[in-house]
Amino acid sequence: MGTRNPGQRAGLTRGAVLAAANELLAERGLAALTMRAVATRLDVAPNALYSHVANKTALLDEVLDERLALVTEPDPDGDPAAGLHAVMTSTRAVLLDRPDLVPLYLARQGARGPHAQRLGEVMLGLMDRAGVTGGDAREALRVLIVYTIGFAALGTGGPLAADETARSFDRGLRWLLTGIIPG
């Protein structure tokens, strides 16, 4: 019953592999996210995954970017500072649901996937409407991203409780936004 069917198609797809990886990550953490574990969950031999994913790094890259798809986009015509505030807050919340992921973003020096790119463009658009452009905008973008990812990384543990951490995040974020968009 549960035994694998030698030489038979299991109907494995790239999406199924990704989904299994995500489930594993949510249920048992990053350390448990091994190729073998993903394969076991899909009732498949470990190397079968390599028909759909180049290697583990590539798999993680996709898990990473897929996560960012959950960030809610702000109203592009609303108040720019409020929009930026909303994006960063949402990003932090999304990352906080998978704390193990965050060190990976940093080890990879940030995300480069399509969803990450889209978010960056949205934020640049908001800044543009607030009169922050060119190099200044890119610098500010970097500051906001670093701050948010950093807080997601350090946000779960530590001596402060969750809501206190959320308040700290919010205060610092406002300080930054005030600096970026004065008045």
- List interacting residues with a copy of itself (CB under 8 A): 102-104, 106-107, 109-110, 135, 138-139, 142-143, 145-147, 149-151, 153-154, 156-160, 164-165, 167-169, 171-172, 174-176, 178-180
Query: Contacts with DNA in 101-120 (CB under 7 A)?
Result: none
Tell me the helix, strand and coil percentages in the chain, rounded to 5: 70, 0, 30
Residue 133 touching DNA (CB under 7 A)? no
Binding to DNA by CB under 7 A, coded x per residue (else -) over 55-94, reads xxx-------------------------------------
First to last CA, the chain: 67
Q: Helix 56-68 vs helix 14-28: angle between axes, to the nearest 10 degrees?
A: 80
What is the DSSP code (8-state) at residue 75?
P
The burial of 12, by beta-carbon neighbours within 10 Å (0-12 exposed, 13-18 middle, 19 or more buried), is given as middle
Q: Give the three-state DSSP class for 76.
A: coil
CA-based nearest residue to 82, from 150, 129, 148: 129
Q: Under the criterion CB under 7 A, does residue 20 sit at the interface with DNA?
A: no
The nearest distance, CB 43 to a copy of itself, in angstroms, is 31
CB of 156 to a copy of itself, least distance (A): 7
Q: Tell me which residues touch DNA (CB under 7 A).
A: 4-12, 33-37, 43-48, 50-52, 55-57
